[in-house]
């Protein structure tokens, strides 16, 4: 008898639920779900943007602070790392170029040049090494051009 009552109740509840979930009711539910998800998406996007801005600003401020502390404490390894002066990639590994009459400097070279101009006592040795490499590169370019000119001249004379 219990099974009969349970089955009858289950059918009655099923009928009531089926009658309650009409197409209009389902449309209203979908609309509410879409509104809620839209609000959640907007909230998540806003939080991501505001958190990223705050976190990025904090990260930059900490990086600047660590760099200055390394310079003040004389921690050369940390200073080199923060200023892109590390021995693995120091900006001097490629040929320097003159583009439209202006000397091209990679990021580390430009940063060190600006710092050397503002505070020459801090990184004089690195800047001198940059300039020595620059002189070598430009001398090689001038020598190559001179050799090309001499070769062309010899061809014309002969």
Shared-domain flag, residues 8 and 41: yes
Shared-domain flag, residues 116 and 135: yes
What average pLDDT is seen over the chain?
A: 80
pTM beyond 0.85: no
80, 86 contact by CB (below 8 A): yes
Shared-domain flag, residues 25 and 98: no
Mean pLDDT for 131-135 is 88
Please say which residue of 25, 59, 82 terminates a domain.
82
Shared-domain flag, residues 68 and 143: no
Shared-domain flag, residues 59 and 129: no
Tens digit of each residue's pLDDT (9 = 90 or more) over 61-90: 888 888 888 878 877 778 777 776 665 555
pLDDT, residue 150, reads 93
Rounded Cα gap, residues 15 and 4, in angstroms: 16
Mean pLDDT for 47-51 is 81
* pLDDT tops 60 at residue 121: yes
Shared-domain flag, residues 77 and 95: no
How far, rounded to the nearest angstrom, does the alpha carbon of residue 68 sit from its chain's CA centroid? 22
Please say which residue of 34, 67, 82 terminates a domain.
82
108, 84 contact by CB (below 8 A): yes
Shared-domain flag, residues 46 and 94: no
Q: Which range marks the domain in which residue 111 is found?
A: 86-157
Please say which residue of 67, 82, 97 terminates a domain.
82
Shared-domain flag, residues 68 and 106: no
In the chain, what percentage of residues exceed pLDDT 70?
82
Shared-domain flag, residues 128 and 104: yes
Shared-domain flag, residues 137 and 150: yes
Shared-domain flag, residues 75 and 92: no
Rounded Cα gap, residues 34 and 71, in angstroms: 55
Shared-domain flag, residues 68 and 6: yes
If one compares 144 and 8, the residue with the highest pLDDT of the two is 144
Q: How is residue 40 written in tokens?
A: 């959640």
139, 132 contact by CB (below 8 A): no
Total count of domains within the chain: 2
pLDDT, residue 85, reads 67
């Amino acid at each position: 008898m219990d099974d009969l009552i349970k089955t009858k109740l289950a059918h009655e509840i099923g009928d009531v639920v089926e009658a309650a979930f009409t197409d209009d009711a389902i449309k209203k539910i979908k609309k509410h779900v879409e509104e809620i998800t839209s609000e959640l998406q907007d909230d998540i996007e806003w939080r991501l943007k505001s958190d990223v801005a705050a976190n990025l600003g904090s990260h930059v401020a900490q990086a600047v602070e660590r760099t200055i502390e390394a310079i003040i404490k004389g921690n050369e390894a940390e200073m080199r790392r923060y200023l892109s002066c590390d021995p693995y990639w120091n900006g001097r590994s490629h040929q320097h170029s003159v583009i439209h009459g202006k000397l091209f400097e990679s990021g580390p070279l430009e940063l060190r040049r600006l710092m050397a101009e503002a505070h020459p006592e801090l990184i004089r040795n690195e800047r001198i090494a940059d300039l020595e490499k620059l002189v070598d590169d430009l001398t090689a370019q001038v020598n190559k051009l001179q050799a090309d000119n001499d070769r062309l001249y010899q061809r014309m004379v002969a």
